[in-house]
Amino acid sequence: MTIRTDAIRKVLDLMDANPGVLQEAVESEYGFQSKTASIGFHDRGLDIHLPSAWTDENRAAQKILVRQIIRAFGGTWKKQDSGSTMYFRREGIFGYFEATIYADRAAVCERVVTGTKTVEHARVEAVKAYKETVDVVKWECKSLLADEPAKKELVNA
């Protein structure tokens, strides 16, 4: 396994050239419930894990942060939904890394109720069988960059 230190240096230079974007992902200064965020390098991967966003305010802040990170790196990112997490992936950052941003799906997608359905629950020991009505939902994950014009050009290292 070879880690290209020149590619890592380019990521760090990009962080230095864009204060308040990637550093804030690391330092978690957006007031998230969980104050743990990390940027990790492994083999050919660069992972950016954002902390959980439990309130509407924190989800809005996380969406802004994901948008800023994507703008900082540029290029085309692919989205992948996985349960409560949304992955954003881009290959070939600085000709080397595959980058992945891990964010709360509720922060970057819109929950849309499309109807309701009745769910029947089987009897479990001391609880009688029962039915309940639950929402039928889908998640609309639109482009993060389309709904906001660029506020400023980020410096590419």
pLDDT, tens digit, for every residue of 62-118?
Answer: 888 888 888 888 889 999 988 888 999 999 887 788 889 888 899 899 999 999 999
Average pLDDT, the chain: 77
Burial 2-41 (b: 16+ CB within 10 A, else e): eeeeebeebbeebbeebeebbebbeebebebeeeebebee
Q: Which residue spans within the chain are E strands per DSSP? A: 38-42, 45-49, 78-82, 85-93, 97-104, 110-121, 130-140
* pLDDT for the residue numbered 60: 83
pLDDT of residue 15: 72
Model confidence pTM above 0.75? no
Going along the chain from its start, the domains and CATH numbers come out as 5-108 (3.30.460)
